[in-house]
Every structure is written in structure tokens, then in C-alpha cells.
Amino acid sequence: MGIEAALPHDSIMTTQFNRVVNWARRSSVWPLPFATACCGIELMATACSRFDLARFGAEVMRFSPRQADLLIVAGRIGIKSLPVLQRIYMQMAEPKWVISMGACASTGGVFDTYAVVQGVDQFIPVDVYVPGCPPRPEMLIEGIMAIQRIIDNDNIPKDQDGKRLPLNIAVQPNFEPSAQPVDVSIGAT
């Protein structure tokens, strides 16, 4: 498994305290789904058995902001519901992270009207944007993995010059593309 497999079973191992804390935090991210639109359906699919968000320790959807670490804004936010979103963000206990899921939450999407917020990042801090309309569950899983990477590093990892390093997260496809069926032409021999 890990390094503990190489150790004798009666020995100890030292590490940094915040590494342990971050390990605990990233292994049990409890999301609050602020799902207002079709992205919420993909969010539900992500939590269900086929994609199984529980593999990442993030399956416990909390509908109370006091118990959640991660706010997933999924769907368009009207200016009438923005104060609600802001209050929910304020009510979440530190530390907290925010995913803006989908085109509408990130930019307003196709709803370029007087009543829709053109990106929730104008009004609340956002850590990870998940593009798509709606994003596939794999993309949301990548977003949550990015959040886990941010938690592990206490921030977005940067190099000595202060430039952001790539997170190097990619969900690998679990299948090999095989040869596609060939068109059948009638009358050919």
C-alpha cells in the first residue's frame, strides 16, 4: 500500500501535524449542494453508484451549511437568490471551499439577462470552476480532486516565481477504445 507496508509493525512514523489534518480534511470533504438547475442532476448522478463520489470521501451531502466544507454551486443563480447563497457561504464554518459547477454558475451561461448573476465569483470567492453545460460527473469528480489537491497543499501549488503549477489531475478512461463497426454495404461481395 503505502510507506507503512515497509515498516515493522511495532515502529512509529513522524510527520507534520498539518499534513495529518489536511489528510483528514481532504478525505472527508462534505459538500453542500446548492443545486438550482440541470447541473444539480449531474451532481446527483455523481453521488450515485455509477460514478460513486464516495470513493473520494465526499459522498455525505450536507444540507446544513454548518456541517459542510465544500459549497457546490450548481446552476444559474438569480439575483434574488444571490443573498441566500451569500448567507449560506457566510454560515459555513472555516475552512471552506467553493466549486462553481457549470457554465451558468461560472459565467451566467446563456442567461445573459437582467435577472441572472453573470458568474458567482463576482460575489463570493470560488476555488475551482468546473466548465460544461452541464459538466459530466467525471468533470465534477476532477473538480473535487482539485479541491483535495488544494487542501493537501494548503493552497494552489505554486513554484518559486509564484506561478501556478498544474494540478496534474486527469481521470483516466477505464476502457480501451476498440475498433468501431464498419458500415455494411448492400450488394457487396
Partner 1 sequence: MTRKPVLEHPTLAVIKKAFPDAGLKATEFREMTTVVIPREKIHEVARYLHDSPDCDYDFLADVVGIDYMGYPVEQPGRFAVSYVLASGKHGLRITLKTYVDPSVDTSGIDFDPELEVDSITDIWPGAEWPEREVYDMFGIRFKNHPDLRRILLWRDFPAHPLRKDYPLRGRGEREHYQTLNRESR
Residues in touch with partner 1 (CB under 8 A): 79-80, 82-83, 86, 89-90, 112-118, 122-125
CB of 12 to partner 1, least distance (A): 37
Looking at the Cβ atoms of 63 and 114, the one nearer to partner 1 is 114
CB of 62 to partner 1, least distance (A): 20
Looking at the Cβ atoms of 124 and 151, the one nearer to partner 1 is 124
Looking at the Cβ atoms of 47 and 150, the one nearer to partner 1 is 150
CB of 70 to partner 1, least distance (A): 15
Please tell me the number of Cα atoms within 13 Å of 125 on its side-chain side. Answer: 7
Contact 139, 51 (CB under 8 A): no
Contact 134, 43 (CB under 8 A): no
Q: Tell me, what amino acid is at 126? A: V
Sequence-distant (6+) residues with CB within 8 A of 77 are 36, 85, 104, 105, 116, 117, 120
Lookup result for grid cell 480534511: 25
Distance CA 131, CA 121 (A): 14
Looking at the Cβ atoms of 58 and 89, the one nearer to partner 1 is 89
CB of 37 to partner 1, least distance (A): 17
Looking at the Cβ atoms of 26 and 76, the one nearer to partner 1 is 76
State how beta strands 97-101 and 31-35 pair.
unpaired
CB of 74 to partner 1, least distance (A): 19
